[in-house]
Structure 1
Amino acid sequence: MKILMVAIPNHHFFQWVNQLKDSGYEVFWFDISDGGSVVAKISWVRQIKGWKLKWVFPFRNRIKSSVPKIYSYFQKYNEFDLASVFEQKINEIQPDIVHCFEMNLSGLPILNVMNKHKKISFIYSSWGSDMFYFKEHGIQKIQVALFLERVDYLITDCKRDYRIAVRNGFKNKFIGVFPGNGGVTFSPEFIQTEKKRNIILVKGYESFGCKASKVIEALQLVPITLLQNFEIVIYSADEIIIEKIKKSAFFDNLKLKIYPRAIFIANEDLLKVMGVTCIHISNNISDGMPNTLLESMGMGAFPIQSNPGNASEEVISHGVNGYLITDPLDGAAIAVLIEKAINNPELRIRAQEHNVNFIQKKYNRSYLKKEIVQIYQDVFLNQ
């Protein structure tokens, strides 16, 4: 069986595709952005890269940064047409299945080609704010409907997005809800008891639908005497968040550690931090089922999580095993939740026991591997 994956270079995609290693399938990856070099972590996959530029001229990156308008004009004539290249690869590979990850960047650009090859089974994995926020991505409703009409099989990372797809015309086979990264490899030996948890961990994204700035505002409304018992760790922090913290004297008297977004943190290392995290906070106005939410809950951290489109409530019952942020733009309300979580260790203990058991059973990578491998076999046999 030949499977052609279509995706941008993305850590979650790499984790998903690695679930198929040693499956016996012949797997190809069309890097739709043609970004970067060959990816070592999926070296067993046949990677289609270097397809975009007709001529890789000297000092290209310098010209791009110094005279971007001239560079953009020239690139109109220096890039191969994506659809033409993809169709050429379809004809060369003759895949049994094409699987695209994310609609806007990976699905819509190949739609016309897939419409020419109706006999090839087409799987689409919805990611993050893909379906929920398609209008904000500049995608028209008719484009979504035409895309979903061609999709034979749908995978989502939350139930919400399946319902959205159905409302927008999807009528074919729903495979089910799977985490976008294919599951989490949990490390039970790093899961500490409540008494040994001394970190408040904050996801530092501040772009598009991500609103870490409101969490930073909220922390400054919490009595500092409560926060002084913890180390505040901001990970994947965008530059605007780093600057916001630097400008605030509030954080001068707190234990603080910042990991900029540009600095890669190995997933295993992040899980270790989550294993000693008391409270994990992530705030967005648009998202699917965040992998970091599942990871933090599985490692025993108490979640304070935004709930766009009610996706997060699929795993969090407010006041039972975490807190849901109802208004991601209300820093004062988020501050109230942080203070309540700090002052309620009994709730955190109960939540940890529930979350570790629930998340590790439902999202454990080793448990999901067999199901994910079987997806492609079932699609192939149903052709």
Structure 2
Amino acid sequence: MKLLIVSMPSIHVTRWVSQLEHAGFDVYWFNVHGTDKNTKLPWVQQKVNWKLKWDYPGRTFLKKRIPILHKVLQRLFSNDTAVVFESYLKDVQPDVVHSFALYVAATPIVEVMERHTHLKWVYSSWGSDLFYFKNLPAYLKDIKRVLQRVDYLFTDCNRDYQIAKDLGFRGTFLGVFPGGGGFDFDSYNQYIQPVTERSVILVKGYQGRSGRAISILKALQDVSVMLKDYHVVIFGADPDVVDYLKIYEPSYSFKVFEKSAFLPHEDIMKLMGQALLYIGNSNSDGMPNTLLEAICMGAFPIQSNPGGVTEEVITDKNNGLLIDDCESVTLIAKQIDYAFQHQKLIEQAFIYNQKTIKPEYDIDLIKNKVVEAYKSIQKRKNYD
């Protein structure tokens, strides 16, 4: 079976596609951003570096210094995504097209897929794809258009499968899987420390459209008396978070890893293995990969619950704590305080998550299920 992946360059896509090596599929990748080759997938045939008609002099300078002019020239000198994709589609002649993320990799090619109705189309919903953007009329129109055309659906949570059905999806559901596939625990188990030796409070530093890290930092300030023996580490910190910490420097000990300064994934996993608490907060998301990784690395999770997605993994006051209002500093502080006051709960959650939750995300288990999902498409196609 020829499988054509359509996506932006992403660590999650790289991990997902890596599951398919040696699975018996011919895999192709259309880099929807038209940038460089993915060197971590040398066995995949790739359509890259197609975006620009002309790499005009000074492009990088303009992008940094005069972004408005850069955008105008970018449109002028860029190839049309749908045109290039359709040409590549005819060259490859795939059996299945698989788009990752709706607005990045499905909407730009929907007109092409509507012309090639004989091709099976798979869509993987990610993050805020459906939950957030369904509330915006201009985006909702595109969501419904894509969902009415796609034949198969992967989601990272049950919530989004229900939303997809509500918005017109009538195809075959292939299951709930982490956006990047399973996790290679053999590589990271060495970093898991006992609960009694953990001294890090780990915070996901996203702030912007959906991230609400600053609410966490304010909540930590409210319970700072409890943090004297701990070190707060903020990773993936957006500029707003960095600026906040400069202006309102907390009384607790902290370290910041800015989003712009890439922190290797292995280093993040090490931090999770040292973290007593992991705290993530947003107004919209799917099932966060970082949450799942933190749970598997033994950190006690305190996580927002947009649309009820996090409660698919966390039972409040059992194997973690839920944040029901991502804007409420008082509520977040209350949950952090509750965790510190119930050390036994943290220890019990560690055991439960390691024995019950973690095995469900093992790389080999997920890989086998994903491969079988693709093979089910092949069987249906042969039957048709």
Give me the TM-score of the superposition, normalised by structure 2: 0.95
Structure 1 residues 1-383: aligned runs within 5 Å: 1-35=1-35, 37-135=36-134, 139-186=138-185, 187-222=188-223, 224-251=224-251, 254-383=252-381
Query: Offset at 1:137?
Result: 6.2
Going from structure 1 to structure 2, the CA distance change for 1:261 and 1:82 (only over 3 Å counts) comes to: same
CA distance in 1, matches of 2:67, 2:258: 26
Going from structure 1 to structure 2, the CA distance change for 1:19 and 1:352 (only over 3 Å counts) comes to: same
Q: In structure 1, the residue corresponding to 2:351 is in which secondary structure?
A: helix
Corresponding residue pairs, total? 379
1:344-377 Cα shifts (integer Å, max 9, x gaps): 1100001111111222211111211111122222
Query: Offset at 1:233?
Result: 0.6
CA distance in 1, matches of 2:129, 2:48: 24
Going from structure 1 to structure 2, the CA distance change for 1:240 and 1:183 (only over 3 Å counts) comes to: same
CA contact (8 A) 1:126 1:156 kept: yes
Q: In structure 2, the residue corresponding to 1:132 is in which secondary structure?
A: coil
Aligned partner of 2:141: which letter? I
Going from structure 1 to structure 2, the CA distance change for 1:84 and 1:66 (only over 3 Å counts) comes to: same
RMSD over aligned CA atoms reads: 1.5
Aligned partner of 1:237: which letter? A
CA distance in 2, matches of 1:357, 1:21: 29
CA contact (8 A) 1:215 1:283 kept: yes
CA distance in 1, matches of 2:272, 2:354: 12
CA contact (8 A) 2:29 2:47 kept: yes
CA contact (8 A) 2:134 2:143 kept: no
Query: Offset at 1:65?
Result: 3.2
Going from structure 1 to structure 2, the CA distance change for 1:137 and 1:362 (only over 3 Å counts) comes to: farther
Which 10-residue stretch deviates more, 237-246 or 181-190? 181-190
Going from structure 1 to structure 2, the CA distance change for 1:359 and 1:307 (only over 3 Å counts) comes to: same
CA contact (8 A) 1:104 1:139 kept: no
1:223-274 Cα shifts (integer Å, max 9, x gaps): x3310111111011112111211222433xx332211111222222222221
Q: In structure 2, the residue corresponding to 1:250 is in which secondary structure?
A: coil
Which 10-residue stretch deviates more, 351-360 or 327-336? 351-360
CA distance in 1, matches of 2:267, 2:74: 40
Structure 1: gaps (5+ residues): none
CA contact (8 A) 1:99 1:122 kept: yes
CA distance in 2, matches of 1:9, 1:90: 19
Aligned partner of 2:193: which letter? Q
CA contact (8 A) 1:298 1:357 kept: no
1:85-140 Cα shifts (integer Å, max 9, x gaps): 10000000001110000111111110010111111111000001111011456644
Higher relative contact order by CA 8 Å / sep ≥ 6: 1 or 2? 1
1:183-238 Cα shifts (integer Å, max 9, x gaps): 1122333222211111100000012111101001111111x331011111101111
CA contact (8 A) 1:3 1:27 kept: yes
Aligned partner of 1:346: which letter? K
CA contact (8 A) 1:185 1:365 kept: yes
CA distance in 1, matches of 2:282, 2:328: 12
Q: In structure 2, the residue corresponding to 1:337 is in which secondary structure?
A: helix
CA distance in 1, matches of 2:378, 2:246: 54
Aligned partner of 2:206: which letter? Y
Q: In structure 1, the residue corresponding to 2:182 is in which secondary structure?
A: coil
| Overall identity of the aligned pairs, in % | 40
Which 10-residue stretch deviates more, 261-270 or 340-349? 261-270
CA distance in 2, matches of 1:109, 1:249: 43
